[in-house]
Structure 1
Amino acid sequence: MRAAVYRRFGAPEVVRVAEVPRPSPGRDDVLVRVHASTVSAADHRARSRNVPRGLWLPAALGIGAFRPRHRVLGMDVAGVVEAVGDAVTRFQPGDEVIAMLGGRFGGHAEYARVPQDGAITAKPRNMTFDEAVTLVFGGITARAFLNRVALGPGATVLVNGASGAVGTAAVQLAKDAGAHVTGVCSAANAHLVTSLGADRVIDYATEEFTAEATYDVVLDCVGNAPFERVGAAVRPGGALLLVVADLRGVLLAPWRSRRSGKLVTADVGRYRAEDLAQLVALAESGRYRAVIDRSFDLTEIAAAHSYVDTGRKRGSVVLSGLADRRSPAGAEPAR
């Protein structure tokens, strides 16, 4: 099968299309023929080893110290079940699904293997594969963090980095829960964030978002809003949810929680199929929208990584049509 592989860390050009063995499903596995995946901030970090300060060693355990542990990146997939293991009961060949692969990666390929008890569920019936895959990385991450708090009508939520994959999902989920949502992004992305439901948008280039208001929940999707900066902007009994944090922020989070009486956490928890299913239900009811910045063919994988490296993507960057063509000119055997 075709896959985007890399054998060393570095610039986008280290990723190329090659022929690799197709995975075989184990007894409890689902083999998905991949139609779409995304190139996420996690793929950028794994490829470049550009991780938050102090996290080099923990990251090395997951992505490799000297060479990549996982040659095929891609944390999410949307596609069609090709085959199932003998013990699989929840899925059958032909089912259209979306799945979060997480730290196992493997989505930037024509086929991906997913445990049936993993974060996998039926694809939204009203979305294309390209649209559906945008629910996964950003949506399940936002859902997992927001599960840590009780949101309802009247709650106030600030989303820092509201125009990225996680941010656009968080704005929509918080608004659907009845919260008053403030999004922080560039002026160029203000219209997008407002269209997703934000009641107010702050341009980070011209206004300090912690200066005036306080919030029940602050969700930091950028990594520049540690407790030292935004703790005073979180109301008593509120929460600071650190989607991106350095080692100091991770280690001090439990202590900050005890001392302040505010929940401070950088723990995304476990990716769950039920969270994906909730996102699908919202999408099918018209209450959750796919946000695609641009799409790339698998053969354009280096260009896709280059674009994500800019840090300016809006929503998701999609790898499209992975299952539509096979072994084009330029695909090399993996060595």
Structure 2
Amino acid sequence: MRTILQSGYGEPERVLVQGESDIPTPGDGEVLVRVHATSVNTPDCLATLGVPYALRPVMGLRAPVSPVRGSDVAGVVEAVGAHVTGFAPGDAVFGSVWTGGYKRGAPGTFCEYTVVPATQLAHKPAKLSFEEAAGAVMSGVTALVAMRDVARVRAGQQVLVNGASGGLGTFAVQLARALGAVVTGVCSTRNVELVRSLGASHVIDYTRTSYPEQDARYDVVMDNVMNHPPSVSARVLTANGVLLPNSIGTHKWLGTLPSMAFGALFKSRQWRTIQFVPSRKNLEDIGALIQSGAVKVVIDKTYPLAQAGKAVAHMASRRARGQIVLSAM
């Protein structure tokens, strides 16, 4: 099968090259899916570029421990492994192969077929295209967990999303609004109207104004950029406000790891971590919200599988508006 393979760290278009690999066999509790679409996420950029360097002991010192990038998947079931119920060949599905980190031999999704844990797979809502379904997995589920489960956003609360026009940010704005919050989005000039169209009542153009300098106070701040130290972002929180840091930063050696550690100590009561939990229920929940029209998947661009390098470079530029999707068909 066609597979995008990575031999080392470096510029995406140089190190991500199309090759061939064997079609995997689903094991106990796994489902073999023919990939119709996948999407590019932050872990893919980190593992392609190999930065920040502090993560290389985890990702792999000279090259990624697994040569295939990608974790989101939308496609059609080809076969099921032992003890799998609820799925059959021909079913349209979406889900994730992500199991919590970079692991040797872990399957990727920048390929034509992949194996997915059945517990991390759901039937694709009929109204969603494969591209939309793929784009809803890591970003959509993470934003859902952040707003609904971690911050526990309630009606009438004030929520600020820094990086509101990115993949995760576009979902966070919509989900906070769907939960009844008054949302403020932070983005660049060219994305102001997009963020407003997603339900933000207020939009701050960071090229003109720095949100920590404003007088407004927020019950929840989700920071997908971390261009300010957590101690500074915490200044705009209400007394019981919650800070959700969610960026590794751009520093080649340490990224935002030092500031995140300091921030956790500085305001541990207000500090919350976010985890991507691709359970079947979370997938069904985000799918239902999109199917109902309460949330939409914003796709910046869809690339063919052979142009995975360009897609990752686009994501790494930090200029993407919403999701970057790869089509394997």
Q: TM-score higher than 0.5 here? A: yes
Q: Which amino acid aligns with 1:297?
A: P
Distance change in 2, residues 1:285/1:298 (3 Å): same
* Separation of aligned partners in 1, 2:140 and 2:57: 26
CA contact (8 A) 1:253 1:265 kept: no
Q: Which amino acid aligns with 2:180?
A: G
Q: Which amino acid aligns with 1:48?
A: L
Task: Report whether the alignment pairs 1:242 with 2:245.
Answer: yes
Task: Report whether the alignment pairs 1:135 with 2:159.
Answer: no
Superimposed CA distance per residue, residues 82-119 of structure 1 (whole angstroms, 9 cap, x where no aligned partner):
110111013221111111222446011101111112x3
Gaps of 5+ in 2: 249-255
Residue 233 of structure 1 aligns with which residue? 236
Q: Which amino acid aligns with 1:289?
A: K
CA contact (8 A) 2:7 2:63 kept: yes
Deviates more, 1:125-134 or 1:169-178: 125-134
* Separation of aligned partners in 2, 1:50 and 1:207: 29
Alignment partner for residue 223 of structure 2, among 220, 223, 240?
220
Alignment partner for residue 66 of structure 1, among 62, 66, 72?
62
Task: Report whether the alignment pairs 1:97 with 2:104.
Answer: no
* Separation of aligned partners in 1, 2:132 and 2:172: 17
Q: Which amino acid aligns with 1:14?
A: V
Distance change in 2, residues 1:41/1:254 (3 Å): closer
* Separation of aligned partners in 2, 1:62 and 1:128: 34
1:47-66 matched pairs, under 5 angstroms: 47-51=48-52, 56-57=53-54, 59-66=55-62
Residue 5 of structure 1 aligns with which residue? 5
Task: Report whether the alignment pairs 1:297 with 2:304.
Answer: yes
Task: Report whether the alignment pairs 1:161 with 2:135.
Answer: no
* Separation of aligned partners in 1, 2:161 and 2:176: 9
Cα drift, residue 144 of structure 1: 2.2
Cα drift, residue 244 of structure 1: 1.2
* Separation of aligned partners in 2, 1:254 and 1:312: 28
Residue 145 of structure 2 aligns with which residue? 144
Cα drift, residue 134 of structure 1: 1.2
Residue 253 of structure 2 aligns with which residue? none
Alignment partner for residue 291 of structure 2, among 271, 274, 284?
284
Q: Which amino acid aligns with 1:282?
A: L
SS of residue in 1 equivalent to 2:131: helix
SS of residue in 2 equivalent to 1:18: strand
Residue 19 of structure 1 aligns with which residue? 20
SS of residue in 2 equivalent to 1:224: coil
> How many residues in Structure 1 have an aligned counterpart in Structure 2?
313
Residue 79 of structure 1 aligns with which residue? 75
Q: Which amino acid aligns with 1:100?
A: S
* Separation of aligned partners in 1, 2:259 and 2:21: 39
* Separation of aligned partners in 2, 1:297 and 1:124: 23
SS of residue in 1 equivalent to 2:9: coil
CA contact (8 A) 2:231 2:263 kept: no
Q: Which amino acid aligns with 2:216?
A: A
* Separation of aligned partners in 1, 2:190 and 2:265: 37
Q: Which runs of 4+ in 1 moved over 3 A?
A: none
Task: Report whether the alignment pairs 1:113 with 2:115.
Answer: yes
SS of residue in 2 equivalent to 1:238: strand
Superimposed CA distance per residue, residues 254-310 of structure 1 (whole angstroms, 9 cap, x where no aligned partner):
43344xx42x13342643222221101101111110111011111112222222232
SS of residue in 2 equivalent to 1:81: strand
Superimposed CA distance per residue, residues 146-204 of structure 1 (whole angstroms, 9 cap, x where no aligned partner):
22122111011000000010000100110000000000001101111111111111000
CA contact (8 A) 1:144 1:271 kept: no
Superimposed CA distance per residue, residues 43-88 of structure 1 (whole angstroms, 9 cap, x where no aligned partner):
111100123xxxx34x224321112111110120111111101110
1:300-319 matched pairs, under 5 angstroms: 300-319=307-326
SS of residue in 1 equivalent to 2:212: coil
Gaps of 5+ in 1: 325-335
Residue 327 of structure 1 aligns with which residue? none
Q: Which amino acid aligns with 2:292?
A: S
* Separation of aligned partners in 2, 1:65 and 1:145: 31
